[in-house]
């Protein structure tokens, strides 16, 4: 833990650094909940739905013995899902020191989890670091290549600047084996923008969440300026309260597919979408190919009907 923190340098200006720290501090401060607290959460159904979506994605793409890189792994909420998929190796990285601590405790078997399950069968390496800032190919030279790279509900934190978005993709691309799979979930920018257009001002939400865009934000800015750095504040009861960034998916897709560029609730309103990229060639270009992208409503509709899930 802390291995990557000491020599962290930021690609962009001071405000980028401040925002990344805000996100890290927010998640670091969120303590582990007991089972009772979790069940009493006002967003328990949304949490369960999100977990189900991640389980389906993992079941769809993980194979026995796979080496998995979990970018922004958080408290290790997906460890059990990976274990069920019988993976062979796991590397988890997160910017929040507190989350990595909790992840380590969970992996080693805290009292609560000990009572419920056996130890995990795969070896794991857990690290604290900024996945969108650091060149991970150097740090993980001995662990790579990975069969799967997963980034769940976290890729949008890379979209504060183009440099960070590119570093995120460069890390995925450099660490996946050819034919390896990237699976991710992030907020659906189309839904957020639609809701913003329908809203009276710059804020919208319901009893469990709200999203507030900055004062300087306007439709014009959206259309004319850079697709990076479009910031909003996201509040989700009992879960999130920090800055996030819009990820226009068509930009994300074209970046991921770039060839030849230098590397560098209630469950009612889920705006997340799931995306899945296939790594074609692993070299200094991203060269990822989109396998599928779906809004989570559509994903849930589709996969709930399938008997295997
Ligand atoms: N992936 C986990 C899951 O699905 O349970 C955690 C998701 S949580 C909504 C978002 C996570 O992204 C937090 O743990 C946060 O610390 C992490 N994160 C945000 N920015 C990051 C960065 N630059 N590098 C690494 N982790 C980051």
pLDDT digits (tens, 9 = 90+) for 194-248: 999 899 999 999 999 999 998 777 666 666 678 999 999 999 988 899 999 999 9
Domain CATH number, residue 24: 3.40.50.150
For residue 117, count CB atoms less than 10 angstroms from its CB and return exposed for 0-12, middle for 13-18, buried for 19 or more: exposed
Beta bridge partners of 69: 91, 149
Residue 309 domain-assigned (yes or no): no
- pLDDT at residue 307 is higher than 70: yes
- Ligand 1 pocket test, candidate residues 27, 106, 168, most atoms within 8 A of CB: 27
Q: Which domain holds residue 262?
A: 14-188+248-304
Q: pLDDT per residue over 53-109, tens digit each?
A: 999 999 999 999 999 999 999 999 999 999 999 999 999 999 999 999 999 999 998
Dist. CA 200 → ligand 1 center (Å)? 31
**Is the CB of 72 within 6 Å of ligand 1?**
yes
- Ligand 1 pocket test, candidate residues 94, 107, 167, 168, most atoms within 8 A of CB: 94
Residue 29 domain-assigned (yes or no): yes
The verdict on whether residue 29 carries a ligand-binding annotation is no
Straight-line distance from the first to the last Cα atom of the chain, in angstroms, rounded to the nearest whole number:
35
d(CA 104, CA 175): 23
Dist. CA 72 → ligand 1 center (Å)? 4
d(CA 225, CA 5): 32
d(CA 113, CA 148): 25
Residue 209 domain-assigned (yes or no): no
Is omega for the bond preceding 138 within 30 degrees of 0, making it cis? no
Q: pLDDT per residue over 158-208, tens digit each?
A: 999 999 999 999 999 999 998 899 999 999 998 998 999 899 999 999 999
Q: pLDDT per residue over 94-105, tens digit each?
A: 999 999 999 999
Residue 207 domain-assigned (yes or no): no
Residue 216 domain-assigned (yes or no): no
**Is the CB of 77 within 6 Å of ligand 1?**
yes
Residue 53 domain-assigned (yes or no): yes
pTM of the model: 0.89
Residue 93 domain-assigned (yes or no): yes
Residue 202 domain-assigned (yes or no): no
Nearest of 74, 70, 48, 47 to residue 58 by alpha carbon: 70
Q: pLDDT per residue over 105-122, tens digit each?
A: 999 986 565 555 568 999
In total, how many domains does the chain have? 1
């Amino acid at each position: 833990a802390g291995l990557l923190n000491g020599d962290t340098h930021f690609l962009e200006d001071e405000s980028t650094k401040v925002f990344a720290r805000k996100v890290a501090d927010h998640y670091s401060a969120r303590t582990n909940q007991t089972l009772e607290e979790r069940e009493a959460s006002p967003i328990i159904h949304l949490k369960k739905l999100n977990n189900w979506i991640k389980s389906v994605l993992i079941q769809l793409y993980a194979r026995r013995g796979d080496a998995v890189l979990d970018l922004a792994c958080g408290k290790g909420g997906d460890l059990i899902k990976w274990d069920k998929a019988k993976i062979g190796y796991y590397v988890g990285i997160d910017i929040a020191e507190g989350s990595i601590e909790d992840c380590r405790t969970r992996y080693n078997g805290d009292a609560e989890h000990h009572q419920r399950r056996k130890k995990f069968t795969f070896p794991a390496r857990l690290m604290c670091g900024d996945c969108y800032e650091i060149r991970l190919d150097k740090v993980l030279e001995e662990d790579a290549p990975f069969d799967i790279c997963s980034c769940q509900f976290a890729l949008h934190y890379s979209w504060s600047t183009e440099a960070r978005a590119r570093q995120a993709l460069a890390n995925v691309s450099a660490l996946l084996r050819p034919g390896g799979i990237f699976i991710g979930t992030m907020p659906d920018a189309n839904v957020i923008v639609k809701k913003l257009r329908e809203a009276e001002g710059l804020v919208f939400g319901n009893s469990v969440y709200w999203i507030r865009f900055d004062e300087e934000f306007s439709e014009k800015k959206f259309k004319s300026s850079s697709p990076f750095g479009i910031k909003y504040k996201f509040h989700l009861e009992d879960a999130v309260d920090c800055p996030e960034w819009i990820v226009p998916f068509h930009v994300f897709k074209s970046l991921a597919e770039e060839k030849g560029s230098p590397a560098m609730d209630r469950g009612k309103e889920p705006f997340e979408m799931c995306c899945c990229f296939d790594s074609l060639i692993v070299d200094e270009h991203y060269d990822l190919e989109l396998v599928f992208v779906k809004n989570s409503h559509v994903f849930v509709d589709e996969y709930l009907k399938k008997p295997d899930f």
